[in-house]
Amino acid sequence: MFLNNTYNEFIKIAAKPRSYIGLIALSVLIGVIIFAMKADGSTYISFVTASFEQTLSFSGDIMNGNLIAFIILQMLIVHIPLLVALVTGDLISGEANMGTIRMLASKPISRTQIILSKFLAGALYTLLLTIWLGFLSLYVARWIFGTGDLMVLTSDGLIIHPESDVEWRYIYGFLTAYLSLLTVSTLSICLSAFAENSIGPIVTTMAIIILFTIIGSMDVTVFDSIKPYLFTTHMAAWRSYFEDPVPWDAINESIRILIYHNVILVAIALFQFNRKDITS
């Protein structure tokens, strides 16, 4: 029954026009970035290498697909959560709004299964979005710009990864980025369990992300104790795979925190939905 309903959920997601907004928006955004880089990428590179160029010169193909993919990820990782929440924030509250939730909840499927199948469907949609992001940013960018060494600017300095040492970083990076986006998906579905309309959970999800991001970036001692536990602090963990050396312990800690968030949010949603009176 659980798998049947998960299949149902995916049919519903696939049938909604808003599900394609995310995919189309991503394609357009990445297309715009690729166009901009093709037209004037050297200016962007100069910004990165400016402080070194008094003394050093950089030879070789800096503006390659690997770098473009990195730039795209950096730019979009703030915006993609909205595209995720747009769909996943509607999964429960949208049904309440439509009235179909009472049809669903009066079937011989437990409320736990209903919620878990929605989480799973949301996770699959998020995965699809991540794969699409990966395909466009990495493979399409490589097709257009070619491939090569990857130059990454961190707050510690410039790191240049040989081409042969890039692929596995992206694979792990995308997996971790997926976990970050999954946390957004889970958060929006959890909020959706409390609402009767879709706008509330979507806007609230984005507001939480913005608030936590601001708290995380403020250099104020009073926030230092909570920063490590905010999921937004760990949403950029994917970048750590491009450090040298890779801070594995720190990455594992980020993954742990994100998993904890997912588990807790699912538990809250289950609790809320199971005890809720369905009056809509």
Partner 1 sequence: MKKVLLFLSFLLVGNLLFAQQSQVLSALVGKLNTVKDYTVDARIVAAVPMIKIKEVNATFYFKQKDKFKVDTKGIAVLPKQGFTDLNKFIANASNYMSIESAGKVISGVNTVLVTVIPTNDNQDVILAKLWIDPKKTIIMSSQVTTKSSGLMTVNYAYSDQLKYGLPSSLVFEIDVKKFKMPKSVAANIHQTDKSSENDGKDKKGKITVHLTNYRVNKGLSDEIFK
Partner 2 sequence: MQNTPIIEVTSISKSFGSFEAVKDVSFHVNRGDVFGFLGPNGAGKSTTIRCLLSLIKPNSGEIKLFGETFSSNRSMILSKIGSIIEKPDFYKYLSAEKNLEIFARISGAQVNRKQIHEMLDFVGLRGREKHRIKGFSHGMKQRLGIAQTLLHQPDLIILDEPTTGLDPQGIIEIRNLILRLKTEQNKTILLSSHQLSEIELIANRMVIINKGKTLVEGDVSELLNQQEVLILLEVDNVEKAMSLIHSKFPLSSPELNASGQIELTLQKNQTALLNKELIKAEILVSALEPKRKLEDFFIKIIGA
Instruction: Produce one character per residue of 228-254: b if its CB has 16 or more CB atoms within 10 Å, e if not.
Output: eebbbbbbbbbbbbbeeeeeeeebeeb
Least separation in angstroms between residue 251's CB and partner 1 is 8
Strands 150-154 and 157-161: antiparallel
The Cβ-side half-sphere exposure at 246, using a 13 Å CA radius, reads: 16
Applying CB under 8 A, among 21, 24, 28, 98 the residue interacting with partner 2 is 98
Residues of this chain that bind partner 1 (CB under 8 A): 47-48, 50-62, 74, 148-149, 151, 153-160, 162-163, 165, 217, 219, 233-234, 236-237, 239-240, 243-244, 247, 250, 254
- Asked, as a colleague might, if the bond just before 201 is cis with ω within 30 of 0, I would say no
Least separation in angstroms between residue 169's CB and partner 1 is 14
- Cα 27 to Cα 73, 135, 154, 272, distances in angstroms: 13, 10, 27, 36
Residue closer to partner 1, measured from CB, 1 or 211: 211
Site string for partner 2, 50-89 (x = CB under 8 A): ----------------------------------------
Q: Residue 15's binding partner, choosing from partner 1, partner 2, none, with beta-carbon cut-off 5 to 8 A by kind?
A: partner 2
- Cα 204 to Cα 36, 41, 86, 103, 207, distances in angstroms: 32, 36, 11, 27, 5
Q: Residue 59's binding partner, choosing from partner 2, partner 1, none, with beta-carbon cut-off 5 to 8 A by kind?
A: partner 1
Which residue ranges make up the site for partner 2 (CB under 8 A)? 1, 4-5, 7-8, 11-12, 15-17, 98-100, 102-110, 275, 277-279
